[in-house]
Chains A and B, each alone.
Chain A
Amino acid sequence: MMFNGVEIMTPILLAALGGLFAEMAGVLNIALEGLILIGAFTGILVAAATGNLAVGMLAAAVAGGVLAGLLAWVTSRLKANIFIAGLAVNLLAAGMIPFLSTWMFGTKGVLRFPDLPRMPRLLVGVHTGLPLLDDLLFGHSVTVYLAWLTAVIAAVLLYRTPFGLRLRATGARAESAVVSGVNAVRYRSIAIVVSGVAAGLAGSTISLRLGVYLPNISAGRGWIALVAIYLGYRTPMGIVIAALLFGLTDSLAGAAQGFMNIPGTILLGLPYAITVVAMILYSAIRSTKPRRRRRRIDAHF
């Protein structure tokens, strides 16, 4: 269970770490779900075409970054509303992938790539004597370690570099950042692109591990990642723990399905249910003051 939980947490962790950059810059990026989906599709397509998993992941990261760049452009240059434009990304993924899939493969259903190389595993057969710790640390897909490394990099970037300081200043108080000579719009755009790159990468880890592309393969992980940012108290290490909790719950639910006889259809909603309950409990316990975000949609005409 622990072993599966760690594998399941990886895409959530990657997407949440990227989303943290956006969050720190003051942007709630609700497009993560669509960006993950695009990454999953692009990643497996390119990996199958080139026979190289790393190239596939790189392509997924680029695809996520480009789409997020588009999102950053319409919100900064054209002053579009970030939530509405973010929804556009999600709907674009939901609409374009079946179109491309039909166009290229003649089906919008499951895409199998039997020749795809298997995701390599690291530290297989290493033991400490504690089974739980072994399952947590050793023998995982290389992407798991990549995600952990990303957490460390994110922590360093955000808290130990001028770039991170300026990014956080943008989110904390954009006006002050601008007065101090920080180009807030640019930092916000960079943060959105970073979240896109990470979400694209996250998507590729899902499809490449399975070796197939399924419709709606992201299955709400983008939304879970958003909530993991809050649950992790908006810190990289907190997000690692929150993502692990989601991973463990997910693998537990998978196991529970077997012996508790819950219909599989209902369980499709479980990740969303757990996420929303976690989010409500979190805010109830912390009882944060409503954060003031400019949320108004132009009501004048």
Chain B
Amino acid sequence: MSEQAMAAPRRAAGTLVAVSAAILVTVILLAIGSPNPARALTSFFWGPFSNRFFFGNMIDTFGLLILVGLGVCAAFRAGVFNLGGEGQVYIAALTTAVVALSMPAAPAPIGILAATGAAVLVAALLAGLSGLFRWAWGTDELITSFLISAALVPTVNFLIVGPLRNPDSNLMTTVRVAGQFRFLRLLPPSTLNVSVGAAVLLAVLAHGFLFSTLRGYELRMTGLNREFARYGGVAVGAYTVLPMAVSGGFHGLAGAFFVLGTHHAAIEGFTAGLGWNGIAVALIGRNHPLLIIPAALVFAYLEAGSRVAGLQTEFTFELAAIIQAVIFFLITAEIVLPRLRRGRRERSAP
């Protein structure tokens, strides 16, 4: 425990350094790569606040990031790894669209519940499957969750650009879902909608579950020390499969909200990056449901900034992936600030 306590300030420094480094790298790349660096940098930093559209979209992303962050957190807390978030969000989004489109005349509550429920279920099953294999045969859930997801993404692409494509649209998209299923927009013309409130509420509920219930305690114990938890009578097997399923479920919810709230249809590749962002958010928030809220806000700002910078200068590239990369490199590192350096040399063994 004392090692943990000692590591805390280093890890806090790590978070700060990681986010700062990500901003620094972004600034450098925009300055090198953009034909108009001053304009690109202004758009990056100020763009998300420059009008209602960009601002609303940023807050919309914020809500989705909370959900995927919670999803990643659910698995991390139990000591398992869900690397399939990318695909789970995408498949869930398609499921939402398909279910909603299959019942265009249904009353709003029924249609929304059915579409969302199906999306959550599908994503939970996909992730839970990896947990099940891990529990039954020790198959590495980190690899299987990634591979299952990666195997299915091309099929989703095929369905959206092929059989389910809206022939009247120039975009690779399905038909838009019926009007009564669409979430209330809060700041038109942006995509911000009421689902952001649900996301914040879920973060608070997740916090309550994790820190104020027996199941939450058992889940955390399993994640901290599986053998110790088993010795203490915790059914650790259940905490391998269920957290994976819950993790998938949160990703599924994000996919459902992305369709019903943000886009009203499933578009080819439209969820790309959301799964990786969830890992970044969970790590910035130190796997703490309440800290995930500000972490999601920071990341939504970075993401919105890079999107605006991309829109307003002709130079577009995968800035989001680079931001993620820099954060992932440093976020779990124990950055030793000069004042803390003393006493570190002794610990060279792993």
- Asked if B279 CB lies within 8 Å of chain A CBs, one says yes
| Nearest CB of B to A117, in Å | 30
- Nearest residue (CB) in A for B137 is A283
Q: Tell me the bound Cα distance from A92 to B349 in angstroms.
A: 29
Inter-chain contact B283/A223, CB cutoff 8 Å: no
Q: Tell me the bound Cα distance from A292 to B143 in angstroms.
A: 15
Q: Tell me the bound Cα distance from A184 to B24 in angstroms.
A: 34
| Given the contacts A95-B317, A265-B154, A279-B147, A301 and B332 also touching, CB distance less than 8 Å | no
Q: Which of B7, B150, B332 contacts A269 (CB 8 A)?
A: B150
| Given the contacts A80-B330, A103-B32, A288-B138, A299 and B151 also touching, CB distance less than 8 Å | no
Among the 9-residue stretches B98-106, B183-191, B251-259, B285-293, the one with 4 or more Cβ atoms under 8 Å from chain A is B285-293
| Given the contacts A269-B150, A279-B147, A84 and B283 also touching, CB distance less than 8 Å | yes
| Given the contacts A78-B333, A84-B279, A296 and B288 also touching, CB distance less than 8 Å | no
| Nearest CB of B to A218, in Å | 12
- Asked if B168 CB lies within 8 Å of chain A CBs, one says no
Inter-chain contact A95/B321, CB cutoff 8 Å: yes
Inter-chain contact B161/A87, CB cutoff 8 Å: no
Inter-chain contact A88/B328, CB cutoff 8 Å: yes
Chain B 218-231, CB-CB to A under 8 Å as 1, else 0, gives 00100110100000
Inter-chain contact A102/B144, CB cutoff 8 Å: no
- Asked if A226 CB lies within 8 Å of chain B CBs, one says yes
| Nearest CB of B to A74, in Å | 6
- Asked if A91 CB lies within 8 Å of chain B CBs, one says yes
Among the 9-residue stretches A161-169, A245-253, A270-278, the one with 4 or more Cβ atoms under 8 Å from chain B is A270-278
Inter-chain contact B153/A269, CB cutoff 8 Å: yes
| Given the contacts A263-B158, A269-B154, A185 and B32 also touching, CB distance less than 8 Å | no
Q: Which of B14, B83, B137, B287 contacts A284 (CB 8 A)?
A: B137
Q: Which of A95, A288, A297 contacts B283 (CB 8 A)?
A: A297
Given contacts A88-B324, A276-B151, 12 further A-B contacts (CB under 8 A): A70-B329, A78-B333, A80-B329, A81-B332, A85-B332, A89-B325, A99-B33, A268-B154, A269-B150, A290-B134, A299-B224, A299-B288
Binding site for B on A (CB under 8 A): 28, 30, 70, 74, 78-81, 83-85, 87-89, 91-92, 94-96, 98-99, 102-103, 108, 174, 178, 184-185, 188, 220, 223, 226-227, 263, 265-270, 272-273, 275-276, 279-280, 283-284, 286-292, 295-301
